[in-house]
Structure 1
Amino acid sequence: MWKRVAAILIARNREFYRDKAGLIWNIMMPVMMIVAFAFIFGGGPEDLFKVGVLGDPQTATDESGFLATPYLDFVPLADEPAAVTKVARHQLDLLIDARGAGGSITGYWANPESPNGQIVERLLIGAHATAGLPPPERRTAAGDALSYADWALPGVLAMNVMFSSLWGVGWVVVRYRKNGVLRRLKATPLKPLEFLSAQVLSRLLVVMASSTVVYLGALVILDFPMRGSYAALALIYIAGALSMISLGLLVAARLRTEELADGLLNLMAWPMLLLSGVWFSMEGTSTAAQWLSQLMPLTHVVGAARGIMIDGAGVLDVLPELLLLLTLAAALLAAAARLFRWE
């Protein structure tokens, strides 16, 4: 069995690296996207000050009048630890605790390294002084700024894994069937599961190699944070690639034309791209969108990778996502082998 799998694996790898144009495109496209993000979003934060409010800013009792200050964007938040983390990362300029009696302001968090935070803090203290009130209790949340490129990079890497995994096997297997390659393989002792396993291993090697090159290229170009475990990051991308490759094989199990395969793969890829938190956070979206997002494997890859790179998560922290993705990969591969047809 393993000799047959190895033979198909070697043949598939040779086919890939001999296609120089496809090889260069797989490596350069995501690198160029990262450079574009750094160029577009590298100009610093917007002029509008953003203030988080623990509680409801609409019903809070504010005798100082600070919550009525124009040109401040007040964002209601419920999770205190997550909100404080946003202040530390310069994603919020200030965080106000409006959970006192009757919705009064009892304290606030400021980042001493945030220029915008210093300005908003002075506005808060000035508003209380003008109203003849003592300033609220001050707490600090120090930390380095997190740029949009830093936040988006884990998702861009996951997006590269998704596209390379889906089209690298889904489209190719359909082309094999159309060109009669699978019909010739049917005459050999090769079994469907062996053939599909070889495709999985081949594509996994290519995806992880290209992702490593992209990661190293981004490391040279961008000064992004990597606070967690490299082992955890590798495992989550491997598990994500396995689930995507298995999904691509399931799509290609019986299709006969590349056009239909391309359409179905696009039908799966673009909703995942929009709803998996690659480009923007799903916070604040509709309940239905958030529920649908949790059904997509890319969501769990992006969330876990972001937790590792930005929050410093380790293998144990992302173990639920790992188990979910590996279980999904096994189920999809089993279904693909069950439905697979040589002709």
Structure 2
Amino acid sequence: MKFKRFFAVFKARNIEFFRDKSSLSWNLLFPVLLLVGFSFIFSGDGRSAYKIGVVQLTSAKLGHTTDKHDFSKNTRYVDYIQYDSVDEAKSKLSNHTIDMVVEPLTLRYWVNKESSKSYLVEKIFSTELRGYTRLQTSDKAIRYVDWVLPGILGMNMMFSCLFGVGYVIVRYRKNAVLKRLKATPLSALEFVSAQLLSRLFIVLFLSAIVYSGCNLLFDFYMLGSYFDLFVIGMLGAFCLISLGLLVASRSKSEELIGGLLNLTSWPMMMLSGVWFSLEGAPPALKAFADFLPLTHLVAGARKVLTEGATLADISYHVSCLVVMSAIFLSLGAYFFSWNTER
């Protein structure tokens, strides 16, 4: 592998992207517009269901039960999630994962004053909660825009990684650029590595600009380390780029690659915790979401931002991204074709 040839492709790819003003503008403006919109609508993500955490550990330890929360059985469109710890449930409430916490034995409930859903749930169950002591989460308030930030940035990274790599390679293959490159001393490893690192640089550079600019407007909640956030972002972007390379490894049709990339991106956009939490979702759905790279990128970044997690705390997400990257990259290199013929 010759560094000079690698760097020439790397430089050319960067220049090609930055000269495309429409693509550059879209990558910069799209996440900003989404953040502005969500800051105004707060938590209006269109779902009708609410989530209430019910803590039962205390009553179990004391050897008796209570029926104080039986009202939940008669309420539609509300999910009831069992927790064994008040601290765990309150942490979920602070991070907008659930909308209210109820501990029936001690007649206490908690709300998140920064959540419109928490306010509505309290109003809905105002009659049933008579006699309960009302409490609020004591941690620093996390706004919905703080919670949704990792999802929006992750989604923007996903589209940039998948479409930025997939379409480019298919266009090169369709226009016989790859066929001509095959006749040069450039190896497949050099070409793929240059494409991968070029897109990684572009994605991280633009994401940093978007985050920094929006942070001046919204003053985002940040408990963790920016270094840890950068690492999980880099691993997530690398994994998504590798997936884009795999999807485009043999396709010769721009229409086909568009469908394949949409098929790849839409499940991640809906099931990776971008817009709403999967807390209380069916186990099969949560298991499927665990196989999606964006799930681990968003979850890891969200823990760093809102919970102050370190890389050790999110080691599961880091490990999943590393393993997925290795699998996608290996398969992509194995199936990669220079020519338009299959």
TM-score interval (norm. to shorter): 0.7 to 0.9
- Confirm whether residue 108 of structure 1 aligns to residue 108 of structure 2: yes
Report the residue type matching 1:277 in the other structure. G
Instruction: Measure the CA separation in 1 of the matches of 2:112 and 2:175.
Output: 65
- Confirm whether residue 34 of structure 1 aligns to residue 40 of structure 2: no
Checking the alignment, whether the CA contact within 8 Å between 2:99 and 2:112 is kept in structure 1 is no
Identity percentage over the alignment?
Answer: 43
Question: Is the alpha carbon distance of 1:74 and 1:249 closer, same or farther for their aligned partners in structure 2, counting shifts above 3 Å?
Answer: closer
Instruction: Measure the CA separation in 2 of the matches of 1:205 and 1:199.
Output: 10
Question: Which residue is equivalent to 2:83?
Answer: 78
Moved more, 194-203 or 61-70: 61-70
Question: Which residue is equivalent to 1:20?
Answer: 21
Question: Is the alpha carbon distance of 1:304 and 1:93 closer, same or farther for their aligned partners in structure 2, counting shifts above 3 Å?
Answer: closer
Instruction: Measure the CA separation in 1 of the matches of 2:228 and 2:7.
Output: 28
Superposed, 1:287-326 pairs within 5 Å as: 287-326=283-322
Q: TM-score under structure 2 normalisation? A: 0.82
Q: Secondary structure at the match of 2:108?
A: strand
Instruction: Measure the CA separation in 2 of the matches of 1:163 and 1:63.
Output: 47
- Confirm whether residue 195 of structure 1 aligns to residue 191 of structure 2: yes
Question: Is the alpha carbon distance of 1:240 and 1:205 closer, same or farther for their aligned partners in structure 2, counting shifts above 3 Å?
Answer: same
Checking the alignment, whether the CA contact within 8 Å between 2:203 and 2:237 is kept in structure 1 is yes
Checking the alignment, whether the CA contact within 8 Å between 1:165 and 1:248 is kept in structure 2 is yes
Report the residue type matching 2:291 in the other structure. L
Question: Is the alpha carbon distance of 1:67 and 1:334 closer, same or farther for their aligned partners in structure 2, counting shifts above 3 Å?
Answer: closer
Q: Secondary structure at the match of 2:101?
A: strand
Question: Is the alpha carbon distance of 1:116 and 1:339 closer, same or farther for their aligned partners in structure 2, counting shifts above 3 Å?
Answer: closer
Question: Is the alpha carbon distance of 1:76 and 1:22 closer, same or farther for their aligned partners in structure 2, counting shifts above 3 Å?
Answer: closer
Is there any run of 5+ residues in structure 2 with no aligned partner, and where? 58-63
1:290: how far off? 1.1
Question: Which residue is equivalent to 1:179?
Answer: 175
Q: Secondary structure at the match of 1:171?
A: helix
Checking the alignment, whether the CA contact within 8 Å between 1:307 and 1:313 is kept in structure 2 is yes
Deviations 1:104-139 (A, max 9, x none): x2353547978969x88xx799944xxxxxx88x98
Moved more, 220-229 or 289-298: 220-229
Question: Is the alpha carbon distance of 1:213 and 1:323 closer, same or farther for their aligned partners in structure 2, counting shifts above 3 Å?
Answer: same
Instruction: Measure the CA separation in 1 of the matches of 2:325 and 2:201.
Output: 16
Is there any run of 5+ residues in structure 1 with no aligned partner, and where? 99-104, 129-134
Deviations 1:14-65 (A, max 9, x none): 111111121111111111111111122279xxxx998642149xx9635799
- Confirm whether residue 235 of structure 1 aligns to residue 231 of structure 2: yes
Report the residue type matching 2:305 in the other structure. M
Question: Is the alpha carbon distance of 1:23 and 1:89 closer, same or farther for their aligned partners in structure 2, counting shifts above 3 Å?
Answer: closer
Q: TM-score under structure 1 normalisation? A: 0.82
Instruction: Measure the CA separation in 2 of the matches of 1:312 and 1:221.
Output: 22
Instruction: Measure the CA separation in 2 of the matches of 1:95 and 1:154.
Output: 24
Report the residue type matching 1:172 in the other structure. V
Instruction: Measure the CA separation in 1 of the matches of 2:27 and 2:260.
Output: 21
Deviations 1:258-303 (A, max 9, x none): 1111110100000111111111111222222111101111111111
Superposed, 1:125-164 pairs within 5 Å as: 127-128=130-131, 141-164=137-160
Aligned pair count? 322
Instruction: Measure the CA separation in 2 of the matches of 1:213 and 1:152.
Output: 18
Q: Secondary structure at the match of 1:53?
A: strand
Deviations 1:280-336 (A, max 9, x none): 111222222111101111111111011011111112212332232123212222221
Checking the alignment, whether the CA contact within 8 Å between 1:113 and 1:142 is kept in structure 2 is no
Checking the alignment, whether the CA contact within 8 Å between 2:56 and 2:84 is kept in structure 1 is no
Instruction: Measure the CA separation in 1 of the matches of 2:273 and 2:334.
Output: 32
Superposed, 1:276-287 pairs within 5 Å as: 276-287=272-283
Checking the alignment, whether the CA contact within 8 Å between 1:53 and 1:97 is kept in structure 2 is yes
- Confirm whether residue 97 of structure 1 aligns to residue 103 of structure 2: yes
1:252: how far off? 1.2
Checking the alignment, whether the CA contact within 8 Å between 2:166 and 2:248 is kept in structure 1 is yes
Query: Which protein shows a greater Rg?
Result: 1
Checking the alignment, whether the CA contact within 8 Å between 1:182 and 1:342 is kept in structure 2 is yes
1:68: how far off? 9.9
Question: Which residue is equivalent to 1:225?
Answer: 221
Instruction: Measure the CA separation in 2 of the matches of 1:335 and 1:146.
Output: 41
Instruction: Measure the CA separation in 2 of the matches of 1:126 and 1:185.
Output: 70
Checking the alignment, whether the CA contact within 8 Å between 2:100 and 2:112 is kept in structure 1 is no
- 62, 66, 70: which one aligns with 1:61: 66
1:93: how far off? 7.2
Q: Secondary structure at the match of 1:177?
A: helix
Question: Is the alpha carbon distance of 1:182 and 1:111 closer, same or farther for their aligned partners in structure 2, counting shifts above 3 Å?
Answer: closer
User: Please, what is the CA RMSD of the aligned residues?
Assistant: 3.4
Question: Is the alpha carbon distance of 1:173 and 1:53 closer, same or farther for their aligned partners in structure 2, counting shifts above 3 Å?
Answer: same
Q: Secondary structure at the match of 1:146?
A: coil
1:223: how far off? 3.0
Checking the alignment, whether the CA contact within 8 Å between 1:246 and 1:329 is kept in structure 2 is yes
Checking the alignment, whether the CA contact within 8 Å between 2:173 and 2:338 is kept in structure 1 is yes
